[in-house]
Chain A
Amino acid sequence: MNILRRNVLKGAGAAGAVSVAVAAGLMKPTFAFAGWNKAGFESKDLGGAMGSIGGSSAAASGDISVKAPDIAENGAVVPVEITSSIAGTDSIAIVGEKNALPLIAVFNFSNGGQGYVSTRIKMGSTSNVIALVKAGGKAYKAHKEVKVTIGGCGG
């Protein structure tokens, strides 16, 4: 009796794991866009997030301007403006250094799209907003510290 019960439990556990895996696998093909950097966006540490967008060895650059408030009262809405004056900027990524999920967004430009983006992001706590710029196959970065008085992630 006990052995049977154990087997049933084991079987149920395995089936559960499979269905979770299927659900996770099915998330991706539901949209017909170029793709989504699932590993990067779900990465919980800064190194993993930067690595997933090819920014592990990015060089600091003074040609990138990161505009954000010095102090953000509400971490749920932090306006950020990034301008890259590096010629041939292909993409700009925004990373929140201490966010639970550091990778926030990646913008790829083409056909005259300029190296500029302005948006509003969430920040969990006081930390740097990192801008990673890719131009001509090279990676550059710049950052700006934002003090957050009320966190915008979870809470």
Chain B
Amino acid sequence: MAEPMKIRASMSGDTTDVKCLMNHPMETGLRKDAKTGGVVPAHHITNVTASVNGKQVLDAEWGGGISKNPYLAFKVKGAKAGDTVEIKWVDNKGDSNTAEAKIS
């Protein structure tokens, strides 16, 4: 159902830079379909969580204002190379996706 997402995590000094690309249409629920004239129903990611070695570092709530196929980058202190970063999202229809990557 949900397409894979890409995560890249790398150390920069004592901080870990995590970058992530997700695949999602991110419909706001306001856009009109050019062909039918009807409103395209809302379909967007509502919650994103990220953890390092199982400890949650980021918990985000999103509306439809995030662009299609979302990009997200954040920074974490206290992690080291070899640790596992896991990112998970859930959308307003209950779909979800999880991916993980090792910090390099």
**Contact surface of A with B, Cβ cutoff 8 Å:** 27, 30-37, 41, 76-79, 81, 94, 96, 99-101, 103-114, 116-122, 152-155
Contact = CB atoms under 8 A, between A and B. Distances in A.
Given A33-B90, A117-B72, A122-B28, A106 B57 contact: no
B67 A152 contact: yes
Main secondary structure of the interface of B (DSSP, over half): strand
B59 A112 contact: no
Nearest to B40: A154
A104 B74 contact: no
Contacts of B74: 107, 109, 113-114, 116-118
Interface string B65-91: 111101111111111000000000010
B6 interface: no
Interface string B24-60: 0000101110000000000000110110100111111
B28 A36 contact: no
B97 to A, nearest CB: 12
Contacts of A106: 60-61
Contacts of A116: 73-75
Interface of B: 15, 28, 30-32, 46-47, 49-50, 52, 55-68, 70-79, 90, 92-94, 96
Contacts of B90: 31-33
Contacts of A37: 61
A11 B55 CA distance: 52
B60 A113 contact: no
Contacts of B30: 100-101, 153-154
Given A41-B61, A101-B30, A120-B71, A31 B46 contact: yes
27 contacts: A31-B46, A31-B90, A32-B90, A33-B47, A33-B59, A35-B61, A36-B46, A41-B61, A76-B68, A79-B71, A96-B65, A101-B64, A104-B66, A105-B63, A108-B59, A110-B56, A110-B58, A111-B78, A116-B74, A117-B73, A117-B74, A118-B73, A120-B71, A122-B28, A122-B66, A152-B67, A154-B30
Contacts of A41: 61, 63-64
